[in-house]
Chains A and B, each alone.
Chain A
Amino acid sequence: GEDVEQSLFLSVREGDSSVINCTYTDSSSTYLYWYKQEPGAGLQLLTYIFSNMDMKQDQRLTVLLNKKDKHLSLRIADTQTGDSAIYFCAERKGSQGNLIFGKGTKLSVKP
């Protein structure tokens, strides 16, 4: 397909792990990103991974990349109510290409 695809909704309990999945379009994409958007706000860069990596961990965040399947995932450990937001996956070809975004996954965290 031509679109970056994400599931629209995810609901978890506080303290559980959240896994947000994304399928991107272009195997030549060099950089893959996760952004977070809270209501009424812009996009916050959470983390990124280069296409020559399989995994990246940054505190509570773990990114897994499967280049063969063009699949990217974001795991949030010990999810908190403050993690409730929309999470966007994005791909980029080279350092000068524009970002191509998925439609976003709305994460709801229940106490």
Chain B
Amino acid sequence: KAGVTQTPRYLIKTRGQQVTLSCSPISGHRSVSWYQQTPGQGLQFLFEYFSETQRNKGNFPGRFSGRQFSNSRSEMNVSTLELGDSALYLCASSSGSYEQFFGPGTRLTVL
């Protein structure tokens, strides 16, 4: 089976812009979670989608949003980018069991 794929792998944006990141889970997996990784805060949970519904949400401002499509692919959107949004954004896929498998991440740089 192919693993979790994330596109794009690298992205450079300027403050105030918005960005959309994409995640394709492992085939058959219906749960997709998003995490933000920064040197200062470490790995923090953003949200989880299961069968197109947000099932769980972390403590991030409303500028961070997501959605999931009927084929389980998920997108994450960040509006009005700030310098502090520069991070590695990781997507994880799960079949609903205890295992979560991560993709390679999207490195976002905000200038």
Q: How far is the CA of A103 from the CA of B38 in the complex (A)?
A: 10
Q: How far is the CA of A104 from the CA of B37 in the complex (A)?
A: 11
Give residues 34-48 of B contacting A (CB, 8 Å): 35, 42-43, 45, 48
Residues in chain A near residue B58, CB distance under 8 A: 98
Given contacts A45-B100, A92-B98, contact A98 B90 (CB under 8 A): no
**CB atoms of A42 and B105 under 8 A apart:** yes
The answer, yes or no, to whether A11 is at the interface (CB within 8 Å) is no
Give the contact-size bracket for chain B: 20 to 34
Residues in chain A near residue B104, CB distance under 8 A: 41-42
Residues in chain A near residue B99, CB distance under 8 A: 45, 48
**Cβ-closest chain B residue relative to A43:** B102
Q: How far is the CA of A97 from the CA of B94 in the complex (A)?
A: 12
Given contacts A42-B105, A43-B90, A100-B45, contact A95 B100 (CB under 8 A): no
The B interface, classified by DSSP as helix, strand, loop or mixed, is strand
Q: How far is the CA of A50 from the CA of B97 in the complex (A)?
A: 12
The answer, yes or no, to whether A81 is at the interface (CB within 8 Å) is no
Total contacting residues, chain A, CB less than 8 A: 23
Q: How far is the CA of A41 from the CA of B106 in the complex (A)?
A: 10
Q: How far is the CA of A84 from the CA of B4 in the complex (A)?
A: 23
**CB atoms of A88 and B43 under 8 A apart:** yes
The answer, yes or no, to whether B60 is at the interface (CB within 8 Å) is no
**Cβ-closest chain A residue relative to B31:** A96
Residues in chain B near residue A88, CB distance under 8 A: 43
- Set B42, B45, B98: member contacting A103, Cβ < 8 A: B42
**Cβ-closest chain A residue relative to B9:** A40
Q: How far is the CA of A48 from the CA of B101 in the complex (A)?
A: 12
Give residues 78-111 of A contacting B (CB, 8 Å): 88, 90, 92, 95-104
Given contacts A88-B43, A97-B56, A99-B45, contact A31 B102 (CB under 8 A): no
Q: Taking beta carbons and an 8 Å cutoff, which residues of A are in contact with B?
A: 30-31, 35, 41-45, 48, 50, 88, 90, 92, 95-104
